[in-house]
């Protein structure tokens, strides 16, 4: 397997606003062709983070939790990649449905962000940013999240994920 973990960064995020800001900061590092996989239970903050990514990339349309849509394309407002936001929750494990989305066609010119994509979209790219969002243990406010960013593959050895902790 050529996909090797090259970098891990953990960030504590204390509010929804700060999760959006983490997305803004991460967006500065994203390039066309990047695949970002978001893992975390319902309400963890995957869509909130994606909202920040959309703002940071400067794309058209509000990032929402799609109810009936599996993938939404947010075109760039100026130069830069489109944001393709995928909620793969209702997708079967089979590759057929995933292939219908033509993510492989979109990926070179886009940033593709996938919620619930584990076991479904890894084949798209050997280079992936896996973002795991967990509720902090013992947090009575339910506003604290622990975000672990795992860069996989050569592309992420050239990113500066460490800057996200500052
Ligand atoms: P997911 O896409 O993972 O299901 P959402 O982003 O749609 O999650 O929703 C996250 C919910 O949790 C929102 O209601 C948000 O206000 C709330 N929340 C509380 N604290 C945080 C935080 N630190 N980061 C992100 N969301 C948070
Ligand atoms: Mg969501």
Q: Where are the domains of the chain?
A: 5-157
Spacing, Cα 165 to ligand 2 middle (Å): 23
Asked if residue 15 has its Cβ within 6 Å of ligand 1, the reply is yes
Whose Cα sits closest to atom 18 in ligand 1? 16
pLDDT for position 70:
87
ipTM of model: 0.99
Name every residue whose Cβ is closer than 8 Å to that of residue 23 and which is 6 or more positions away in sequence.
Answer: 48, 49, 50, 51, 52, 53, 54, 55, 56
Interatomic CA distance for residues 69 and 21, integer angstroms: 25
Task: Please state, in angstroms and as integers, the Cα–Cα distance from residue 158 to each residue in 16, 80, 124, 152, following that order.
Answer: 28, 19, 20, 11
Whose Cα sits closest to atom 21 in ligand 1? 16
Entry pTM? 0.95
pLDDT for position 89:
86
* CA proximity to 30, closest of 165, 126, 132, 151: 151
> Which residues on neighbouring strands pair with residue 81, listed in sequence order?
none
Scan for tokens 């960030």, then name that residue: 11
Asked if residue 64 has its Cβ within 6 Å of ligand 1, the reply is no
Per-residue model confidence as pLDDT tens digits over 129-163: 999 999 999 999 999 999 999 999 999 998 899 99
Q: What is the mean pLDDT of the chain?
A: 92
Ligand nearest to the CA of 131: 1
Whose Cα sits closest to atom 17 in ligand 1? 16
Asked if residue 13 has its Cβ within 6 Å of ligand 1, the reply is yes
Scan for tokens 């795992």, then name that residue: 150
> Which residues on neighbouring strands pair with residue 112, listed in sequence order?
35, 84
Atom nearest to 51 CA in ligand 1:
6
Asked if residue 22 has its Cβ within 6 Å of ligand 1, the reply is no
Q: Is the pLDDT of residue 1 over 60?
A: no
Q: Structurally, what CATH architecture does the domain formed by 5-157 represent?
A: 3-Layer(aba) Sandwich (3.40)
């Amino acid at each position: 397997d050529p996909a090797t973990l090259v970098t891990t960064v953990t960030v504590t995020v204390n509010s929804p606003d700060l999760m959006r800001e983490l997305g803004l900061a991460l967006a500065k590092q994203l390039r066309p062709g990047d695949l970002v996989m978001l893992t975390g239970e319902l309400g963890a903050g995957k869509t909130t983070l994606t909202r920040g990514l959309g703002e940071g990339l400067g794309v058209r349309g509000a990032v929402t939790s799609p109810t009936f849509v599996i993938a939404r394309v947010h075109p760039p407002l100026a130069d830069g990649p489109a944001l393709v936001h995928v909620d793969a929750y209702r997708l079967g494990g089979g590759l057929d449905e995933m292939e219908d989305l033509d993510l492989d066609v979109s990926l070179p010119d886009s940033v593709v962000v996938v919620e619930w994509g584990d076991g479904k979209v890894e084949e798209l790219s050997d280079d992936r940013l896996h973002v795991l969002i967990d509720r902090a243990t013992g947090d009575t406010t339910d506003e604290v999240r622990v975000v672990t960013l795992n860069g996989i593959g050569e592309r992420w050895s050239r990113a500066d994920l460490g800057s996200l902790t500052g």
